[in-house]
Amino acid sequence: MMIVELIDGEDFRQRLVSLGVHIPEEACPETCARLAAGCHRAKGIPGLEDAVRELMQKSDVMLPSVRQAIERYLLPIFQETSD
């Protein structure tokens, strides 16, 4: 039997905190993504784009709420910069 660790809201929050984003404990994935997007637009967050791309490669083990938050708030900011 294989046990897979799901990427949940707390995992997502911890990844963003490790990049220097200040996020309150118990913040939902949408709040985490919204705060990270705002910080990135204001001053840039080194490593955020790589972290988001890495997470999206694992979307099969990601809770839908985390995936939706990333797609709604974070992916668009990287599409803006690549245009």
- What integer pLDDT is reported at residue 73 of this predicted model? 97
Q: How many whole angstroms separate alpha carbon 79 and alpha carbon 17?
A: 23
- Residue 6: name the closest of 80, 75, 67, 83 by CA: 67
Alpha helices in the chain (DSSP H): 9-18, 29-43, 48-57, 64-69, 75-82
Residue 82 has pLDDT above 80, yes or no: no
Could you give the CA distance from residue 29 to residue 16 in angstroms, rounded to a whole number? 11
26-70 per-position pLDDT tens digit = 999 999 999 999 999 999 999 999 999 999 999 999 999 999 999
pLDDT at position 5 is: 82
pTM of the model: 0.89
